[in-house]
């Protein structure tokens, strides 16, 4: 029974999981919400699946791509995460979350240069972000580039001087500087450095060891011992310091004190230091055996003070214990005597002073506060009291209790010894609180207290920088440079402010103002990587590509292997149409970064620009080769693929274009763009069933355009129908003579197969003199994708010619051009014969067709001509169109009226017309055309000169079935 229950529970869990992973929605928004919830629950596998499914519905949804990238990052699929997130990055360059994920990916995969690039972009967005400055330092350290890490750390310490973590890292660097000073025998400089570190971090062992070593080298073992005692207050169990104290005591001949230290100090137990007790202690005892403890004046007075409290002996012991660092003895006898005389000021002060050098902060402060309560008017005690509350106020600042700290510092400014320091602390608080107006007043007050102090001017400069008053900040720093030419501190600060100013200007898109500023900074630090990078970016944005190229070359002289600079130089070469140079730079990168996607993409971009330029210059074959190479390098480069396919369709025969697209589809059979373009070629081949099938793959995001495209597809589907019927009515009139006439026509065609079409026409005209009818048949054939022809015969009576024979041929010659030639033979009712020769050409763009034709007519005696130009423009996705026509010559172009062909021969004429074709449905269209013809009489007598205007209006209905 228990087994059955277990199986049932397992099945329930399995079904619940299957239900989760089989969730399907109709909306990408629902997938987004589900994926977002999964990430919050740290179910990253499911989040990746949900976001991927959402992208199948909405391929360009950037928010879904962010979730997919984040999920893959958490799953450790760094390449996938990078690929997806960079698609978002290309569209949203300022997305902080995406940049943060990319930094994590590149740092984790040890692609440090890319990681630094993304951190720099984050710092352009948030230039005062403490976290990203520290992250940049961390990456530099992982790279092994400690020089850049140290430089970056010193700069951030200037921005955040009160930050404890940054201060700690800064102190680490200072240790190295102190050690260097010690090696170079600059003992005073080394002491200053080590003491500064200890003031910042009282537990810094390396600084203590540096001080001790420094004093020993200077020949001051007693001072070295004092520093050792001080260090053991902070690090009481440190072996190295303990051994150092024992060694110094032995060196000073104070063997007994060393023995007592080893035997009595709880931090030097036998368990922790067995060798000190087993070897060092016997040695010390042997060294001291030659001395009799009763011959030691100190020991004698100590015993006297202990036995009878002799005041002279007690004073002697306390004085010597304090002077020689016998802290235990000093504390014992002081407390013992304070119990006898609790208000003895001298003893209380001595006890306070005992705690000061041994850094027992709590006991020292307790004694100071009690003394101040008892002796509030004592100057020395008040000074110590002020020091205590000053330090407490500094602790309040560290804990961000700014209000309480301000109260203390405002009180301390009334004491001369603390005025300047307290005013400085008040300034620091205002700066932390971003109370810039008050901070400005405060720094001016400090400068008034000490006008010659360069630190205050530096702080004012830093304040102006934070207020984004960069020009004022630079002016102050520039004056500090001039006044202190030997100091490297101020040029470094100046360059860092130039960096901040340039970053600000780039963010404000004031690119032209950036370059003079950067040039100023580079005069001080010509190898500054950040300034060179900004100069390149600004030159590109202006754009001044040649100047950007010069900056890129300069950067590479300092950083010859820097991938980022090479990529930017290649891009600038490409923008400047120096494609060979751009390709050369990227080829050199590819030898090092063989599989680097950024390098491949950059080379693909260069090839794209070169191909586009070649396309504009008419170098079709070269453009196609470069487009193809760009796609091979970067399969995600849709721009190159699209332009290559479109160029092929326009410039190459349709059958070649179809074969080309099919070859591409073998590699990416689900590429909707290629499938759609295959449908376009089929439409050009008049294979409408295939055109309809493939053009359905076109991707359209706009709902309205998608609806209109649906109508276009229906038109294509209607083009598959084999039968077509057209009915036309034309009305002609004139404002020059009493003239009005009309004609009606009916035409039918049947598409027998893919190549052959048969048709028939009937024209009807009624006049006062009778009824005219004309009928005939026609035939058209497609011989190849670029060659087709038609021919026909018409028979008529009364108004119409007795018969007409005609034939036309059309040939495509590439690049959207087509030529035509035709012949027409007409015999009129009066047995006059006309032969007409037609030649012309057509140019097709995507939605525009332009046609021109020359017609030459010859009867038995004379020759006539007509030159015509016509354009057809598609106005919407439904393929409604507008036509415009103009013609002129000695014979009319418009031969629709039966009597028009001969009635006005040798009349000079100009025809202007327009029309509109409207698709009522995919199968049915109505066409309205109107023309105006102005005839000029050939009579040369000026008194008989006259003009004749004719107006034609026709309506045609075409339907397929």
Measure the CA angle with vertex 764, ends 761 and 769; round to 5°: 150
pLDDT value of position 15: 45
Running DSSP on this structure, what letter comes out for residue 145? -
Distance CA 202, CA 82 (A): 45
User: Which structure tokens are listed for 287?
Assistant: 């060294």
Distance CA 124, CA 134 (A): 15
Closest CA to 582 of 592, 574, 590, 591: 574
Exposure of 815 in the CB half-sphere (CA atoms within 13 A): 6
Kindly give the interhelix angle for 239-251 and 281-288, rounded to the nearest 10 degrees.
Answer: 10
User: Which structure tokens are listed for 533?
Assistant: 């990078």
User: Which structure tokens are listed for 834?
Assistant: 């006309």
* Cα→Cα distances 690→123, 523, 693, 857, Å: 54, 67, 5, 42
Running DSSP on this structure, what letter comes out for residue 278? I
In DSSP terms, 784 is beta-bridged to 787
Neighbour-count burial for 492-528, b at 16+ CB within 10 Å, e otherwise: bbbbbbbbbbbbbbbeeeebeebbebbebbbebbeeb
What is the per-residue DSSP string for 10-25? HHHHHHHHHHHHT---
Sign of the CA dihedral running 260, 266, 270, 275: negative
Query: What distance lies between CA 464 and its chain's CA centroid?
Result: 29
Q: What is the mean pLDDT, run by run of 10 residues, along the chain of 961 residues?
A: 53 48 68 83 86 83 85 87 86 84 88 86 80 82 74 72 67 64 66 72 79 81 85 85 85 81 84 82 64 55 61 68 66 67 65 56 68 72 77 84 86 82 85 86 85 86 88 90 88 90 91 90 89 91 90 89 86 87 85 82 86 85 86 84 86 85 87 87 83 85 79 76 91 73 90 90 84 92 89 90 93 87 90 90 90 90 88 85 92 57 63 92 90 76 67 92 86
Distance CA 610, CA 578 (A): 9
pLDDT value of position 842: 94
Query: What is the set of domains in the chain, with CATH numbers?
Result: 26-92 (1.25.40), 452-546 (1.25.40.10), 722-960 (2.40.160.60)
User: Which structure tokens are listed for 447?
Assistant: 């400068």
Three-state DSSP string of 404-445? HHHHHHHHHCCCHHHHHHHHHHHHHHHHHCCCHHHHHHHHHH
Query: What distance lies between CA 631 and its chain's CA centroid?
Result: 22
Radius of gyration of the chain (CA): 48
> Residues, the chain, total?
961
Task: Write the burial class of residue 17 (CB in 10 Å: 0-12 exposed, 13-18 middle, 19+ buried).
Answer: exposed
DSSP 3-state assignment of 724?
A: strand
* Cα→Cα distances 755→182, 646, 687, 715, 789, Å: 97, 26, 10, 20, 10
Q: Which pairs count as long-range contacts for 161-168, CB under 8 Å and 24+ apart, including other chains?
A: 161/428, 162/397, 162/398, 162/428, 162/432, 163/130, 164/398, 165/134, 166/130, 166/134, 167/200, 167/201, 168/200, 168/201
Q: Please report which helix (H) or strand (E) contains residue 952, including its range.
A: strand 947-960
């Amino acid at each position: 029974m228990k087994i059955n229950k277990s199986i049932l529970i397992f099945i329930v869990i399995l079904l619940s999981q299957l239900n989760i992973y089989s969730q399907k929605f109709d909306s990408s928004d629902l997938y987004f919400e589900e994926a977002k919830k999964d990430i919050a629950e740290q179910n990253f596998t499911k989040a990746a699946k949900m976001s991927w499914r959402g992208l199948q519905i909405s391929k360009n949804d950037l928010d879904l791509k962010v979730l997919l990238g984040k999920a893959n990052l958490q799953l450790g699929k760094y390449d996938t995460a990078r690929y997806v997130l960079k698609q978002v990055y290309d569209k949203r360059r300022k997305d902080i979350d995406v940049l943060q994920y990319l930094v994590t990916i590149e740092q984790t995969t040890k692609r440090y240069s890319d990681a630094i690039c993304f951190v720099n972009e984050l710092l352009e967005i948030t230039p005062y972000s403490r976290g990203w400055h520290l992250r940049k330092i961390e990456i530099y350290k992982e790279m092994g580039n400690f020089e850049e890490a140290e430089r970056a750390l010193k700069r951030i310490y200037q921005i955040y001087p009160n930050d404890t973590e940054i201060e700690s890292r800064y102190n680490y660097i200072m240790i190295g500087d102190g050690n260097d000073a010690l090696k170079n025998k600059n003992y005073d400089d080394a002491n200053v450095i080590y003491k500064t570190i200890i003031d910042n971090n009282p537990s810094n062992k390396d600084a203590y060891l540096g001080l001790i070593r420094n004093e020993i080298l200077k020949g001051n073992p007693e001072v070295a011992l004092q520093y050792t005692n001080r260090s053991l207050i902070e690090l009481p169990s440190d072996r190295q310091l303990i051994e150092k104290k024992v060694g110094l005591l032995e060196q000073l001949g104070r063997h007994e004190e060393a023995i007592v230290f080893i035997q009595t100090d709880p931090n030097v137990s036998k368990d922790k230091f067995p060798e000190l007790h087993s070897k060092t202690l016997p040695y010390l005892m042997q060294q001291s055996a030659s001395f009799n403890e009763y011959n030691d004046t100190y020991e004698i007075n100590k015993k006297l003070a202990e036995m009878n409290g002799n005041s002279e002996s007690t004073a002697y012991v306390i004085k010597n214990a304090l002077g020689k660092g016998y802290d235990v003895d000093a504390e014992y006898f002081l407390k013992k005597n304070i119990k006898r005389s609790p208000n003895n000021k001298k003893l209380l002060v001595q006890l306070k002073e005992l705690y000061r050098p041994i850094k027992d902060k709590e006991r020292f402060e307790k004694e100071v506060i009690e003394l101040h309560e008892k002796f509030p008017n004592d100057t020395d005690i008040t000074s110590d009291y002020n020091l205590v509350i000053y330090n407490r106020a500094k602790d309040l600042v560290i804990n961000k209790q700014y209000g309480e700290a301000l109260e203390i510092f405002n009180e301390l400014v009334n004491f001369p010894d603390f005025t300047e320091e307290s005013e400085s602390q008040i300034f620091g608080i205002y700066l932390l609180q971003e109370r810039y107006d008050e901070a400005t007043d405060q720094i001016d007050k400090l400068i008034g207290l000490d006008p010659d102090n360069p630190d205050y001017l530096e702080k004012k400069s830093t304040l102006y920088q934070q207020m984004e008053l960069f020009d004022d900040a630079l002016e102050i720093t520039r004056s500090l440079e001039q006044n202190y030419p030997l100091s490297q501190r101020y040029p470094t600060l100046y360059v860092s402010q130039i960096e901040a100013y340039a970053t600000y200007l780039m963010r404000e898109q004031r690119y032209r103002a950036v370059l003079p500023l950067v040039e100023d900074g580079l005069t001080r630090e010509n190898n500054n990587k950040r300034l060179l990078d900004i100069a390149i970016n600004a030159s590109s944005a202006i754009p001044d590509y040649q100047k950007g190229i010069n900056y890129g070359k300069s950067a590479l002289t300092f950083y010859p292997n820097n991938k980022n600079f090479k990529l930017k130089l290649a891009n600038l070469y490409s923008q400047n149409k120096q494609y060979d140079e751009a390709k050369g730079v990227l080829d050199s990168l590819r030898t090092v970064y063989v599989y680097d996607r950024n390098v491949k993409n950059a080379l693909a971009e260069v090839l794209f620009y070169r191909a586009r330029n070649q396309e504009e210059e008419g170098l079709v074959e070269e453009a196609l080769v470069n487009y193809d190479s760009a796609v091979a390098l970067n399969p995600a480069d849709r721009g190159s693929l699209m332009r290559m396919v479109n160029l092929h369709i326009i410039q190459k025969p349709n059958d070649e274009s179809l074969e080309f697209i099919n070859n591409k589809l073998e590699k990416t059979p689900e590429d909707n763009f290629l499938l759609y373009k295959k449908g376009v070629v089929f439409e050009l081949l008049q294979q409408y069933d295939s055109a309809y099938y493939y053009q359905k793959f076109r991707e359209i995001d706009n709902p309205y355009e998608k609806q209109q495209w649906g109508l276009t597809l229906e038109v294509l589907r209607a083009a598959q129908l084999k039968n077509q019927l057209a009915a036309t009515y034309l009305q002609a009139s004139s404002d020059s003579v009493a003239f009005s006439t009309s004609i009606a026509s009916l035409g039918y065609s049947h598409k027998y197969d893919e190549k052959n079409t048969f048709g028939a026409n009937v024209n009807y005209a009624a006049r006062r003199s009778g009824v005219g009818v004309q009928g005939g048949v026609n035939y058209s054939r497609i011989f190849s994708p670029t060659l087709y022809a038609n021919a026909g015969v018409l028979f008529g009576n009364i108004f119409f010619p007795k018969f007409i024979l005609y034939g036309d041929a059309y040939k495509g010659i590439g690049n959207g051009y087509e030529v035509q030639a035709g012949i027409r033979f007409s015999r009129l009712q009066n047995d006059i014969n006309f032969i007409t020769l037609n030649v012309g050409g057509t140019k097709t763009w995507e939605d525009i067709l332009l046609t021109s034709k020359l017609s030459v007519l010859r009867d038995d005696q004379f020759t006539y001509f007509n030159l015509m130009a016509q354009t057809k423009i598609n106005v919407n996705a439904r393929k409604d169109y507008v036509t415009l026509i103009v013609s002129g010559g000695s014979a009319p172009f418009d031969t629709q009226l039966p009597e028009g062909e001969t009635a006005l021969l040798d009349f000079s004429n100009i025809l202007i017309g327009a029309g509109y074709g409207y698709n009522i449905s995919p199968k049915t269209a109505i066409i309205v055309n109107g023309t105006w013809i102005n005839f000029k009489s050939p009579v040369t007598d000026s008194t008989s000169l006259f003009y004749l205007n004719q107006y034609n209006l026709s309506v045609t209905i075409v339907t397929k079935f």
